[in-house]
Amino acid sequence: MAETKKSIFTKKHNLFRELIIAARKNASISQVDLAKKLKRPQSFVSKYERGERRLDIIEFLEVVKAIGINPLKIIKELERGCENHKN
């Protein structure tokens, strides 16, 4: 039986994390400020940015809304990046 790689350890997930981090930084929002907007501890932001936890779709939408960007922007950039990377 073939072993399946969990998505949190793939290049695609790493690209997703990089896009979210870049969006936050481009908006000049610190992890602490984002956590406050989300009414979550700073460790929540730190853990998904480091890849220790995944964001579900609801959390993703909350994060991008708090950052002030359209979720489709991240999704489109992820799709473009995934076309260039296999895995």
Domain segments of the chain: what residues? 9-84
Q: Can you give the pTM of this predicted structure?
A: 0.83
- CATH class, domain 9-84, is mainly alpha
pLDDT (0 to 100) of residue 69 = 96
Count of residues making up the chain: 87
**Mean pLDDT across the chain:** 89
Three-state SS annotation for 20-84? HHHHHHHCCCCHHHHHHHHCCCHHHHHHHHHCCCCCCHHHHHHHHHHHCCCHHHHHHHHHHHHHH
What pLDDT was estimated at residue 86?
Answer: 55
